[in-house]
Amino acid sequence: MERAETSPIAGLRARGGAIDGGSAAVVLLLIGAAIFLLVGCLRSTAFAQYTVQGLALGSVYGALALALVLIYRATHVINFAQGELAMLTTYIAWWLMEKGLSYWAAFAATLVIAFVLGTLLEVTLIRPVQHSVIAVVIVTVGLFILIDGIVNWVWGGDFKFMQSPFGNASFDVGGVAIRHQDVGMVIVVFASVVLVWALFRFTKLGLGMRAAALRPAAAALVGVRVDSMLAIGWGLAAVLGAVAGLMAEPSQIFLSPTLMQPILVYAFAAAVLGGLESPAGALVGGLLIGVSLTLIVGYVPQKYIGAELQLPLAFAVLLLILLVKPSGLFGRREVRRV
Amino acid sequence: MKKQIPALVSLLVVAAVLCVLPFVLSDYNVSLAAQVGIFFVAVLGLNILTGYTGQISIGHGAFMAIGGYTTAVMSRDHHTNLVVTMLMAFAICFVVGLIVGLPALRFSGVYLALVTFALAVSIPNIPNQYSTFLGGVGGVTSSEEVSNLWIYVAAWSCSALLFLVAWLILRGRVGRAFRAIRDSEIAAVASGVELPVYKTLAFGISAAYAGVAGSLFVLATNGFAQPSEFGVFLSLQLLIGAAIAGLGSLWGVLAGAAFVGLLPQVSTSVPVIGAEHGRDVIFGAAVILVMLLLPDGFAGLVARLRRLARA
C-alpha cells in the first residue's frame, strides 16, 4: 500500500488483475456451487436446462451490475438511472431497425449512441453536482423518472416486438435442449465484458481511468485528465447497459418501458453481492443470482414461494450474506480513518 | 431567547395561513393541500434519518405501506376509530423501523441505500402473496370514508404535533448524537455516542413518521389501500422531498413536501405531452433542475438568503 501511495501508477500496474483477492471461504463456496451445478446437470436434463437459462439471464444481470460497479468505483455513487438508460438505448435500437437497419448494424450504432449519451449526461448533469453524493443520487433518480416519461411519450407504453438475433432453434446436447438464444446472450455479454476489461488492463486510457477512480488527486498530479476519464467511464457504463438491454429484450419476448426495472433490481443485488468495488464480483454475483432464481422458480412449488415472493426472497438471502460479509463476496474491507 | 423570535414568527405565520386555507380553497384544492400535509409528515421523518443522522433510505414508502395497511385492515375488521389506527400505525412502524435499523448497524452509505431499496421493492409484493388477509391486488377498503376537510385537518394537526416532537428530539442530547453520527461515526463512538442505540432510534422515529403519513395517505384515497400505490415511485418521491428540503429548515421541509406532493398531481394535466407521461417528464426534469440549481435544497437557499439579508 505504501508503494501505491508514493507511485500510484506503478502501484496500479502491479495490482492490475480483475479479481481483487477474496477469502478462502468465498472461493470454497463458489467451487461448491459449481460442483453442485455440474452434478445436477449431469443427473437431470431439467436441471441442466434451468441452469443454462439461469446463466443466460445471469449474464444480463451481470452486465448491468458491471455498469453500476464501473460508475461506483469512479465516483462512489450508484446510478439509479442505469436501467432506464439501458431501456432507452434498446428503444433506439428498435427504432433504428424499424428504419431498415439490420440487427447487428443497429446494435453497433446503438452502442455508439449509448457511449455519447452516457458521456453527455455526465458532463451536463452529474459534473455540476458531483461534490455532493446525495445531490448526484437525486439527479440520477430524476433521470430515472424523466427517461421513463420520455420513452412513454415518444414511443408509447404498448409492447414492441424485435426480431431475435439468434433465431428460435436450439442445440441438442445429450438430451438437453440449449437454445441458441441463451448461448448467444452469454457469448455477447462475455465478449463485451472481456473487451471492457482489456481496455482497462492493457491500454493507456484504461490505466488513466483506473488511476482517476482510485486516486483522483494523485492521478491529476501525474497528468491524467480526471474529468474526461469520469465522463468516458459513464460512456462505457452506458455501453454495457445497452448490451444488457439488447440481450435482455429477447428473454422478455417484447420491448416495453418497464423492460429493465426488474433487471435493475437484480443487477443491484448482483453488484452488492459481489462487492460494489469488484468488477469480477459483479459478474459472478449476476450469474449466481440468475441461476439460483431460475432453480428456485423451477423447483419450489408455487404455494410456498410464488412469483410474488421471488423478489423478497432474493433480498432476504442477500441480506443474510451481507450480514456475514458486509462488503460483499469479493469486496475488501475498507479501513476507515477519522 | 431573542434569537428564537424570527423562527417563532415564521412558525406562527405558517400556522395562521394553514388555518385560513380551508376557508378560501375549493374542495379539490383542499385535498391537494392535505396531500402536502401528508408528505410534510413523511419528509419530516425522513429528514431526521437522512438529513440529521446521515443514513440514506430509499425504502420509506414501505413504512408508509405498513402504516396505510394498518389503518385499512383495522378499520375493515374491527371498525377501530381512525385516529386510534394512526396511533397504531405510529407504534407498529416504530417497532418495524427499529428492526430494519438493526442491519443498518452493519451497513452504511450505498449498501444501506440498496438494502432499503430492496425493502421498497419487496413490501408491495407481500399483500399479493397473502391475499386473504391483505386483499391482494384489489387492496383493502376501510369501513369509513372521510371528507377532504377531515384529511386536511388531520394531516396538518399531525404535522404540527410531529414537528413539535421532532424539534424536541433534535434540540437536545439525542439530536446532538444524531448529528455526531452523521459527521463521523468513528468520532461519535469515540466521544461516547452509543451507535446501535441512536442509529436504530433514528430509523424507528423516521419509520413511525412515515407510518402516520401512510395511514393518512390511505384515508385520502377514500380509505383504500392498494399495493400499486406504494410502489418504488413513492419511496423515490420521499427521498426527493427530503433532498429538496435540505437540512434544518421548516421552510425547506414545506417546500420539499409541496414539491413532491403537488407537482406530480398538477403536471398530469400538461398539454402536448399528454396525461400520464406528463407527470414523469415534468416531474423528472424539475427534480434534476432543482438539484442543479440548489444542491443543498431549499434549506440551503434559505440560509443563503439569510446571509444576504444580514450583509
Q: Which residue in A134, A135, A312 is closest to B122 by CB distance?
A: A312
Q: How many CB atoms lie within 10 A of CB A137?
A: 23
Least confident of A22-26, A219-223, B91-95: A22-26
Within-domain flag for A320 = no
Average pLDDT over residues B277-286: 82
Residue pair B77/B247 in contact by the 8 Å Cβ criterion: no
Chain B interface includes A104 (CB < 8 A) = no
Query: Tens digit of pLDDT for each residue in B208-249?
Result: 999 999 999 998 887 788 888 888 888 988 999 998 888 777
> CATH no. for residue A25?
1.10.3470
Residue with cell 460442483: A35
What per-residue confidence (pLDDT) applies to A12? 41
Nearest CB to B129; choose among A268, A269, A308: A308
pLDDT exceeds 90 at position B112: no
Which chain B residues are within 8 Å of A84, Cβ to Cβ?
none
Chain A closest-CA separation from residue B297 CA (Å) = 9
What was the pLDDT predicted at A26? 79
Measured between beta carbons, the chain A residues lying within 8 angstroms of B111 are 272, 276, 322, 326-327
pLDDT band at A13 (very low <50, low <70, confident <90, very high): very low
Which of B63, B220, B90 has its CA nearest to residue B142? B220
Q: Residue A7's pLDDT is what?
A: 40
How far is the C-alpha of B63 from the C-alpha of B215, rounded, in Å? 10
Is the pTM for the entire model greater than 0.90? no
User: From the list A141, A147, A312, which residue is nearest B125 (CB)?
Assistant: A312
Torsion region of B233: left, alpha or beta (phi above 0 gives left; psi -120 to 50 gives alpha)? alpha
The range of the structural domain enclosing residue A16 comes to: 11-298
pLDDT in tens, B99-109: 888 877 777 67
Residue contacts between A and B (CB atoms, under 8 Å): 138
Residue B63: closest CA among B281, B234, B264, B284: B234
Domain residue ranges of chain B, discontinuous segments joined by +: 27-232
Q: Would you tell me how many other CB atoms lie within 10 Å of the CB of residue B130?
A: 12
Question: Can you give the length of chain B in residues?
Answer: 311
A98 within some domain: yes
Cα separation of B287 and A338, whole Å? 33
Distance in angstroms (rounded) separating the CA atoms of residues A264 and A62? 10
**For residue B65, what pLDDT band results from cuts at 50, 70 and 90?**
very high
| Contact check, Cβ <8 Å, A139/B103 | no
Residues of A in contact with B185 (CB under 8 A): 336
Q: Across the interface, which of B117, B276, B284 has its CB nearest the CB of A145?
A: B284
d(CA A61, CA A262): 10
B11-19, long-range: CB < 8 A, 24+ apart: B11/B250, B14/B250, B14/B254, B15/B160, B18/B156
Q: Give the count of domains, chain A.
A: 1
Residue A6's pLDDT is 38
Q: Exposed, middle or buried by CB within 10 Å (0-12, 13-18, 19+), for B132?
A: exposed
Give domain status of residue A182, yes or no.
Answer: yes
Average pLDDT of chain A to the nearest whole number: 81
**A21 and chain B in contact, CB less than 8 A:** no
Residue A146: its chain B contacts at CB < 8 A? 280-281, 284-285, 287-288
**Region of residue A7 (phi > 0: left; psi between -120 and 50: alpha; otherwise: beta):** beta
Residues A32-66 as b or e (16 or more Cβ within 10 Å = b)? eeeeebeeebeeeeebbbbbbbbbbbbbbbbbbbb
Burial of B147 per CB tally in 10 Å (0-12, 13-18, 19+): exposed
pLDDT at B266 over 80: no
Residue in A closest to B55 by C-alpha: A134
More confident residue, A87 or A26: A87
Identify the bridge partners of residue B140 per DSSP, sorted by sequence position: B225
